[in-house]
Amino acid sequence: MPPAQKSVDSVKKLKPGYLILGGGIIGFAVAKDLRKNEKEIIVFDVDKARVETLRQDGFNAFLGDISDPTLVNSIDFKNLICVAVLSSDDNANIKAVSNFKPVVSESVRIIARASDGLKKEELVAAGANYVFVPPKIVSNTVVEYLDMMETKHSGNRLASWLEDHRGIKLGIILHDNPDPDAISSGFALMEIAKKYGVSTEILYDGKIGHHENKAFINLLSIPMTKITGVDCYDRYDKLAMIDCSIPGVNNSVPAGKHLGIIIDHHSHGDIEPNAEFVDVRTNVGSSATILTKYLQQMDVTVSKELAAALLYGIRTDTNDFRRNTTSADFAAASFLHPLSDHDLLAQVETPSMSVETLDVLGDAIRNREVVGTCLLSNVGVIRNRDALPQAADYLLTMEGISTTVIFGIMDDNIYVSARNDDIRVHLGDVMRQAFGENAGGHPTAAGAKISLGVFSSAKDKHTLQKLVEESVVKRFLMAMGMESDDDDE
């Protein structure tokens, strides 16, 4: 029925290198760009006016319904490299892909346009090798541009802050029990500050527990100073806070303390971070990603130790790009990768588990209580709280479990570590709801620290443990909107 048949059949078979089905805005643009290749381009479109325009532009365009199954008969496939199915009609595109897939050889690529994710799946099922969704591509480009502008804007502001404070002494405060993301970010700020004659010291409180973290600091020889008391902050002209943003929350800085710089990627809840320079981006997976962007933009020389440190920071905070990862994290990692000292990284990552972590894992498995898809486990008194997240990670791999909550007692606190792979649950919010102020985190990973003070009435250790367990389990399940099964106890 379509007039294409006659007009095509009447001449000899077409021998395209590129066959474009659909000559609208996208098809036309693709044809124009491909022209530089000097391969034969053939375009089919159902619209007469469009075909005419293409012809006037010098293209080999034909009138034809791209979903017509007899269209394949008019093509000689000998030189064919690619079939690009680019019309705005999803159903016609699906038919065209199904018609061409069985007749072209394996080496011919079929690329197709879809209007949404659902149609994308149908096109893949029909045999397309690559499917793209135009709105998605446009939005990615816009967001990438906005991100770039934000980095540029923040970079300029940070540079002028440092310029204004030339020669001062800056204390860089990390969150308590700092992890590789916080440590490497502090290290990066130290290098950036050097460029402006600002001398720095990296400060932390708590412990550097995880044996990998200890190896990390030693191997990279990152200088770090333990905070000894509130008056130690007076040694500095200004303070910077990294990987946390509120004084007193996950750090030992007195609440209300005046800060010069805040750089963080965690959401801060209702309290607004307050400093002379603030850069809190919750749309990236690590603080190291933000600092990497600064290094790039401010043209700071990145040593192979610093590159390795930041790369390790990004990888640990995103759980090797599996958690809360955005394109910015990948971009930062790909910038750092060739600059990194890989021997050093290999030494840091020796995945031997410490005896203590193994013990905690054993306790967590033994003491587990499963309610629905939630697994909760009390591991009792611990000496190293880093064993908790490792156990929580490990148990999340258990069949039928989508949330894990592992808790233990150290010093005068209960530490809770939770993991989640149910996309409907924002674990950080649940934890905050259950345990208040000193709890929070990401949708898939969160933690809490609860003072044991409330249980001080317990007469002995066993009673204390029992009370803690009941309370943690009850509060967590309530926040999850689940009933705790009290009869079990």
Residues that bind Mn ion (CB under 5 A): 181, 243, 287, 317
Residue 194 C-beta: closest distance to Mn ion, Å: 23
Task: Provide the minimum distance between the beta carbon of 287 and Mn ion in the complex, in angstroms, as a whole number.
Answer: 5
Residue 185 Cβ vs Mn ion, minimum distance, rounded to whole Å? 8
- Shortest distance, CB of residue 241 to Mn ion, whole angstroms? 12
468: Cβ contacts below 8 Å, ≥ 6 apart: 378, 407, 409, 414, 452, 455
Q: How far is CA 116 from CA 29, 134, 209, 318, in A?
A: 21, 9, 47, 28
Shortest distance in whole angstroms from residue 312 CB to Mn ion = 12
**Cβ proximity to Mn ion, 324 vs 484, nearer residue:** 324
Query: Between residues 120 and 265, which has the closer beta carbon with respect to Mn ion?
Result: 265
- How distant, in Å, are the alpha carbons of 78, 87, 93, 135, 181 from that of 75? 9, 19, 18, 31, 57
Closest CB to Mn ion among residues 251, 287: 287
Instruction: Indicate the SS3 state at residue 289.
Output: helix
Q: Closer CB to Mn ion, residue 123 or residue 310?
A: 310
Q: Specify the amino acid at residue 215.
A: A
Shortest Å distance, C-beta 291 to Mn ion: 11
Of 206, 227, 252, 488, the residue nearest 370 (C-alpha): 488
Q: How far is the CB of 447 from Mn ion (least distance, A)?
A: 12
Residues with Cβ within 8 Å of 209's Cβ and at least 6 positions away in sequence, in order, are: 177, 384, 385, 386
Phi then psi for residue 449, to 5 deg, are -130, 120
Q: Which is nearer to Mn ion, 401 or 445 (CB)?
A: 445
Which one, 287 or 404, has the nearer CB to Mn ion? Answer: 287
Smallest distance from Mn ion to CB 140, Å? 24
Looking at beta carbons only, is 68 or 179 nearer to Mn ion?
A: 179
Strand order in the sheet with 403-410: 368-371, 374-381, 403-410, 413-420, 445-451, 439-441
Quote the tokens at residue 433: 């709801």
Collapsed DSSP state (helix, strand, coil) of residue 275? coil
- The count of other CB atoms within 10 Å of the CB of residue 46 is 21
Task: Please check whether residue 88 is in contact with residue 98, taking contact to mean a CB–CB distance below 8 angstroms.
Answer: no
In angstroms, what is the minimal distance from the CB of 385 to Mn ion?
Answer: 17
| Helix (H) / strand (E) containing 440 | strand 439-441
Distance from C-alpha of 213 to C-alpha of 221, rounded to nearest angstrom: 12
By beta-carbon proximity to Mn ion, the closer residue of 212 and 317 is 317
- DSSP H/E element including 30: helix 25-34
Sign of CA dihedral 191, 193, 198, 200: negative
Nearer to Mn ion, 63 or 217 (CB): 217
Q: How far is the CB of 177 from Mn ion (least distance, A)?
A: 12
Nearest to Mn ion of 95, 281 (CB atom)? 281
Which tokens sit at 447?
């933690």
Which residue lies nearer to Mn ion by CB, 159 or 224?
224
Question: CB-wise, 18 or 294, nearer to Mn ion?
Answer: 294
Question: Nearest-CA neighbor of 62 among 8, 110, 100, 10?
Answer: 8
Shortest spacing between CB 95 and Mn ion, in angstroms: 49
Please list the residues that pair with 12 across neighbouring strands.
none
Report the nearest approach of Mn ion to the CB of residue 175 (Å).
8
Structure token pair of residue 416 = 């809770």
- Nearest-CB residue to Mn ion? 181
Query: Facing residues of 111 across strands?
Result: 84, 130
Cβ atoms within 10 Å of 457's Cβ, excluding its own: 8
Contacts of 214 (CB under 8 A, 6+ apart): 208
